[in-house]
Amino acid sequence: MPPYRKMISVPALDSAIGVFDSGVGGLTVLQALRRRLPQRDFFYLGDTARVPYGRKPPEMVEEFAKEIGDFLCGLGVKGLVVACNTASAVALPSLIERSPVPVWGVIEPGVEAAARATRTGIVGVIGTKGTIGSRAYQRRLEQRGLEAWAQACPMLVHVVEEGLAESAEAELLVSEYLRNRPAIDTLILGCTHYPLLRGVIQRAVGDAVRLVDSAEVTAEAVSAAFQPVNGDGRGAPVIQANGGRVIHFVTGDPLAFAHTAAVIGGVEGEIIPLPVTELASARAVTVP
Ligand code: DGL
């Protein structure tokens, strides 16, 4: 007997790109993507019921990412963007293996941009415990012959989510986390939430250190593959009618998602609740 599949109806989006994160932080990546691909439709999934990923075992995060990847691919997306650094660090190979569409994580573009930016070859990276513990950034930096300094900054996600990005508390935590850094000249913001702390981080490290925002550089890499019009980067581009729509799925409370997202600049587009208990068994049915 086939497994029970719950049907949820979703407005049909043309040639959409699927973007996911553990929560609201990935909206920074979505915003960067939409600035570069304004005609493109997007599905965004925020796994707010299970956030934070940054403190969870890698195997668990990998399972979550696979479920979400399968769900978004089931919607017929043309590409998958893993906006979450922690999920990119631990789940990218399995997502690439099982997905029928191209998959982008945020780590490779971040490392690429840091390699371009550094003059001294000493690069710092900050992220969640999961990201830093995986050594995904450090390995790639070292493979390029760069010296990597890495620091987990677990409290910073909460600071941003509480709307305290410009507070004295944020200044204190950032300077504490960055206190023992060597003479880096480039620092990768290896977490979806850190672009919101850009001002505080820049003040802590000084203007001579270049900050690499993985949201921006990932959007740059994805948009290079997709034309601003609907052509999937291959063949003649086709103008997408009514393009630029976004549908957000959230596994937790949709109101809480919208509220927290205000810190990131708000949510534009529909929010559809997708309880995490139904994520693995749900099959979306698109309606015109
Ligand atoms: N999205 C996560 C990341 O970029 C940060 C939040 C979390 O820990 O889930 O690593």
pTM to 2 decimal places: 0.91
Q: Measured from the CB, is residue 178 less than 6 Å from ligand 1?
A: no
Is the residue at 56 inside a domain?
A: yes
The backbone torsions φ and ψ at residue 112, rounded to the nearest 5 degrees and listed phi first, read -60, -45
C-alpha to C-alpha distance for 161 and 24, rounded to whole angstroms: 9
User: Do residues 192 and 198 lie in contact, with contact meaning Cβ atoms separated by under 8 Å?
Assistant: no
Please indicate, yes or no, whether residues 48 and 190 belong to a single structural domain of this protein.
no
Q: Measured from the CB, is residue 25 less than 6 Å from ligand 1?
A: yes
Would you call 191 a catalytic residue per the annotation?
Answer: yes
231 pLDDT band, cuts 50/70/90, is very low
Please indicate, yes or no, whether residues 45 and 85 belong to a single structural domain of this protein.
yes
Instruction: Tell me which of 165, 196, 214 is where a domain ends.
Output: 214
Segment among 8-17, 26-35, 36-45, 260-269 with least mean pLDDT: 8-17
pLDDT of residue 284: 62
pLDDT of residue 10: 75
Please provide the DSSP assignment of 162-199 as one string. TT-TTSHHHHHHHHHHTTT--S-SEEEEESTTGGGGHH
Write the CATH number for 189.
Answer: 3.40.50.1860
pLDDT top residue among 241 and 189: 189
Catalytic residue among 84, 87, 90, 274: 84
The rounded Å distance from CA 196 to ligand 1 centre is 13
Is the residue at 87 inside a domain?
A: yes
Catalytic residue among 19, 125, 191, 263: 191
What are 101-155's pLDDT values in tens digits?
Answer: 999 999 999 999 999 999 999 999 999 999 999 999 999 999 999 999 999 999 9
What's the rounded mean pLDDT across residues 199-220? 95
Q: Which residue has the tokens 């507070």?
A: 167
Q: Measured from the CB, is residue 18 less than 6 Å from ligand 1?
A: no
- Ligand 1 binding pocket mutation candidate from 86, 125, 159 (most atoms within 8 A of CB): 86
The rounded Å distance from CA 24 to ligand 1 centre is 9
Please indicate, yes or no, whether residues 118 and 204 belong to a single structural domain of this protein.
yes
